[in-house]
Chains A and B, each alone.
Chain A
């Protein structure tokens, strides 16, 4: 089934089309990607994803507006995935490579969001409380598509234009 929305995205010399691995959770803005969340109109509570998060009982009947969440936050905790998870995890490339996972407390929303950390960062370079920034990266590819996802990067690193 072809993806509903195709967005050209520059990853190396790839001729593949870049698409979101799952639609509707994040924007594909290359410079300033954002997670798409929900905010209860009168109460002000935030949710991510908009419709799949825990509910504030005070928001029953409240309108939930779609909002773009903060791009930065403080590292809440982190770990590694040293062994390949089962499907629907897709091993990118030919062989499984361990990866780092971060949980980041968003600056404005007081909400902790999981995500992989961009490749090349080890746990030795991380500590709870450091500033992290949202980026878009390739989760896995096939012949025709690069499937994109949000990841976390230490904010400093991104300012240096690396990663």
Chain B
């Protein structure tokens, strides 16, 4: 698979700002354009990652952002894949570039979120699994994170202290990130003293719902070269895979897993397959990674990803953590940005924000959180209803 160039990246800081999501997207887009030294009027295609929490403008996000920046007649696409929306939007921009429809594109995602648990759409929705799980079971998003965490404890001997150590690590990284919502360094006592939300996970171990925005300017390598950019950060692989039946691990927002009675076994989870497609496209393997940005919806969830992206065998993630391998300065830093633990979750912006961090790391512009000599990075993410996403960037 060919590469595309990342010419510019931009973000609106994550927080609880309570403003229109368009504002965050536009700020991120302007920063990305300035970073790329590309004019808005030069953008030929806008790929928007949608929000389902910001009314109709959120469903037509590319148009909303383009309108706010000034309609120029460029082409648009708006897409939604839950938390994986940003990677889907990037994949659409890449397809347009590869097909020759455009040379240079803007990818934007932003959201303004309400306080507290995410909730399903209103109404009596007996045929919507997202509605049923709240109504019949009271299963929130943290319910699922906690089920995975408890399973790690029972199967692999992970402890609450291990989970807290993930949060401590990511908070130390987040201290150096001015775009993060939480830039405080937490210690194990802070976490142990925070309220239990979904046993064994405590409040400080569950990512908050946040406002934020992120944007990328991407182009063909030829177009980048025509601007005198011969060594850009490259997108070398994108995965947007869906589960392969049977997905034996129960996923948000379903009431049940798939059945492995006819085919497969209880170990099959599609989270093992998400990175595979990106590795294949980029022709790299886990040993080639210098760092990874993974979707730490909870502290314990980060450990699952170590295994799903091939940093270690299943069950061994806590060993990497305890050895300090995944902290800044370690063998393979994970979430040098601070991750969701430091950012919280702004759904359509999150996968794009991961790519922003990869770009800064690969350019050597990540400041005090820089992974020395970074050349290959991987991001991975997971949206409910079976949306995987992973992006590999190289330089």
Interface residues of A (CB under 8 A from B): 21-23, 25, 40, 43-49, 51-58, 76-83, 85-90, 99, 101, 103, 105, 108-116, 123, 127-129, 139, 149
Contacts and interface: CB of A to CB of B under 8 A. Distances in A.
B198 A87 contact: no
Contact of A52 (B116, B127, B148, B386): B127
Query: Which of A76, A77, A111 has the largest number of chain B CB atoms within 10 A?
Result: A77
B98 interface: no
Interface string B130-143: 01111111111011
Interface string B53-86: 0000000000000000000000000000000000
Interface in B346-395: 386
Is the contact region of chain B dominated by helix, strand, or loop, or is it mixed? loop
Contacts of B139: 81, 85, 101, 114
Given A88-B135, A101-B143, A78 B150 contact: yes
A114 B134 contact: no
Is the contact region of chain A dominated by helix, strand, or loop, or is it mixed? loop
A61 B155 CA distance: 38
A56 B262 contact: yes
Contacts of A89: 134-135, 138
Given A45-B259, A52-B255, A128-B155, 6 more contacts: A45-B258, A80-B146, A81-B138, A81-B140, A87-B119, A111-B259
B134 A46 contact: no
Contacts of B246: 45, 54, 56
Contacts of A47: 256, 258-259
B80 to A, nearest CB: 19
Given A22-B126, A22-B135, A56 B258 contact: yes
Classify chain B: how many residues form its interface, as a range.
35 or more
24 contacts: A45-B259, A47-B258, A52-B127, A54-B243, A54-B254, A77-B150, A77-B154, A78-B150, A79-B143, A79-B147, A79-B199, A80-B146, A80-B199, A81-B139, A85-B134, A110-B261, A112-B248, A112-B257, A113-B255, A114-B256, A116-B137, A123-B199, A128-B150, A149-B137
Nearest to A150: B136
Query: Which of B124, B248, B249, B256 has the largest number of chain A CB atoms within 10 A?
Result: B256
Contacts of A79: 142-143, 146-147, 149-150, 198-201
Query: Which of B131, B154, B254, B262 has the largest number of chain A CB atoms within 10 A?
Result: B262
Contacts, number: 165
Given A111-B256, A111-B259, A21 B136 contact: yes
Contact of B136 (A48, A80, A129, A149): A149
Interface of B: 116-117, 119-120, 122, 124-127, 129, 131-140, 142-143, 146-151, 154-155, 195-201, 243, 245-250, 254-263, 266, 386
A139 B134 CA distance: 12
A82 B147 CA distance: 14
Contact of A56 (B142, B196, B263): B263
A82 B262 contact: no
Instruction: List the 7 closest pairs (A to B, CB-CB), nearest first.
Output: A79-B146, A86-B119, A128-B154, A46-B259, A112-B257, A88-B135, A111-B259
A139 B135 CA distance: 9
Contacts of B198: 79-82
A152 B142 CA distance: 20
B151 A128 contact: yes
Contacts of A108: 261
A128 B154 CA distance: 7
Nearest to A52: B129
A103 B155 contact: no
Nearest to B118: A86
Nearest to A84: B138
A55 to B, nearest CB: 7
A161 B143 CA distance: 29
A103 B246 CA distance: 17
Given A53-B254, A127-B154, A88 B120 contact: yes
A88 B126 CA distance: 11
B138 to A, nearest CB: 5
Query: Which of A55, A88, A101, A110 has the largest number of chain B CB atoms within 10 A?
Result: A88
Contacts of A103: 147, 250
Nearest to B242: A54
A87 B120 CA distance: 8
A99 B124 CA distance: 23
A76 B261 contact: no
Given A44-B262, A86-B117, A86-B134, A54 B247 contact: yes
Contact of B261 (A46, A115, A123, A129): A46
B140 to A, nearest CB: 5
B133 A56 contact: no
A103 B257 CA distance: 10
A110 B266 contact: yes
Contact of B197 (A57, A82, A87, A110): A82
